Amino acid sequence: MNETEIVQMAQQGDTSAFRQLFEENKRRVFTLAFQYTKNKEDAEDILQETFIKAFHSLNKFKAQDDTNFSSWLYRIGINASIDHLRKNKMKKDNYIDSDQLPSISSDDGFSQPEHAIRIKEIRTKLDLTLSQLPKGQRMVFILRHYQQLSVKEIADTMKCSEGSVKKQLFRAFQMIKKRFKSLFPEDNYEMQ
Amino acid sequence: MKCNKFRENIVLDLYGELDNKEKAELEEHIQACAECAKDYEYSKSVFQALEDAETEDIPEPAWDSNWGKINLAIRDKPKPQPLFGLSPKWTYAAAGVTLVFILGIFTGRFWLPQKQAGPISAELSQEYIQRTLAQHFENIKPVLVEMANYTAQDNGNGTVLLDKAAMENLIIQNILLKSLISGKNPTAVQILEDVDLVLRELANIDEGDSGTKSMIKKLIDDREILVNMKILQHM
């Protein structure tokens, strides 16, 4: 049975068919939500909201050449993630203040523990930076960097222009660069 | 082209979003502009660091528990349950007939005196609809509050829940209002649909059915029905 047939059964109120759609799409939606919120409970709430909204809107969904159920659901997941954060302000406790982390030299030749700490520092700094970005910029960055959607796919999904997506990606990356200055002293990049 | 545009293209280049012409222009500019060349090198290092740190542990949620909550929320929603033994078709037919009467009364009372003979307008003012909605929400609030505060220990002590006749009136009011505002206020229609679901469950509940009572309580919480009603009342 293909996806279209399963969707049609779900549209007729068949919850076991809808369960099948849940099984096939749950991980992608949850991963997006987790990368966006950095919080397991929030991501689970978003997962539930996404599928509940999808179920109630199933009759509005019509499979087209450029829109399959997964893309449609993904769009609902993106909106649910943004809405969720709008309703529940990001929990500051999820983030470690990067200024409290030990300062690590950016020299080459880290030992294993140093390398692990540096990776952790980069992730923490990135999480902190992302949490402070405007919601749209954060979502664009996550969709491009982690979910590896192209600019065009993001524009289609978020219903905005490619130019707008490019601007938001640029601004998000500029902010990350600014926050990463302490990790990569500019002196290392003097022109020869 | 100004450096600012190239700075944007540096980021887009890292993500493979430049076409050949844009890429060639960027490379040419970098050869000639020390500042942009420095920015390009720095951007590459940051990008590489993000790539290296990318393998992030995604936690494993309790999938079955999540599905259980979704299933609870969507259960019975697509097919409204019979109201006191009536099929949904007859429930809506009865509501439709009553609606025509009510519209007639309101039209005569509020519109005809201000108009000369002519076609009867079926339009109701926004103010009137808002007032009626607020009154309706006031009427159903005690029932919803009682269910929202329900705990397993309360089972059997409910007072509001026992009054089936009152429940029937509330359901009919709810159906009528939903018809009145259909197409005019989608937010209110959604809330009334949620309320409809709760009232129908309550109308068919057995006194000792704690499972359904817990489910109704969850429904009220999850859909934030009381909060949404309050917001709408103050809009």
User: Of A37, A48, A128, A147, which to mutate for an interface test with B (greatest number of B Cβ within 10 Å)?
Assistant: A48
Here the tokens at position A178 are 């600014």
Q: Give the residue extent of every domain in chain B.
A: 3-52, 81-233
Q: Give the residue extent of every domain in chain A.
A: 1-92, 95-184
Closest CB to B77 among A56, A166, A188: A56
Residues A122-172 have pLDDT tens digits of: 888 888 888 888 988 999 999 999 888 999 999 988 888 999 999 999 999
Interchain CB distance below 8 Å, B74 and A55: yes
* CATH class, A1-92 region: mainly alpha
Closest CB to A169 among B11, B46, B50: B11
* B190 touches B109 (CB < 8 A): no
Nearest-angstrom CA–CA distance, A119 and A125: 10
Which residue in chain A is spatially nearest to B40 when comparing CA positions? A189
Give me the amino acid identity at A73: L
Task: Per residue of chain B (235 residues), give pLDDT as tens.
Answer: 578 889 999 999 999 999 999 999 999 999 999 999 999 999 999 999 888 877 667 899 999 999 999 988 887 554 434 444 444 555 566 667 667 767 777 666 666 655 444 443 355 677 777 888 888 888 888 888 888 887 766 655 544 455 667 777 788 888 888 887 877 778 888 888 888 888 877 777 766 667 777 778 888 888 888 888 888 777 6
Interchain CB distance below 8 Å, B74 and A145: no
Q: What is the largest CA-CA distance in chain A?
A: 68
* A96 touches A124 (CB < 8 A): yes
Give me the amino acid identity at A151: V
Per DSSP, the residues of A149-180 read --HHHHHHHHTS-HHHHHHHHHHHHHHHHHHT
* Single pTM value for the model: 0.54
Distance of alpha carbon B142 from the chain centroid: 22
Q: What is the distance in angstroms between the CA of the first residue and the CA of the last residue of chain B?
A: 50
Nearest-angstrom CA–CA distance, A161 and A135: 17
Closest CB to B50 among A13, A47, A145: A145
Q: What is the largest CA-CA distance in chain B?
A: 84
Q: What region does B173 belong to: left with phi over 0, alpha with psi -120 to 50, or beta?
A: alpha
* CATH class, A95-184 region: mainly alpha
Residues facing residue A64 across a β-bridge: A67
Contacts (Cβ under 8 Å, ≥6 apart) of B162: B207
Interchain CB distance below 8 Å, A55 and B66: no
* A169 touches B50 (CB < 8 A): no
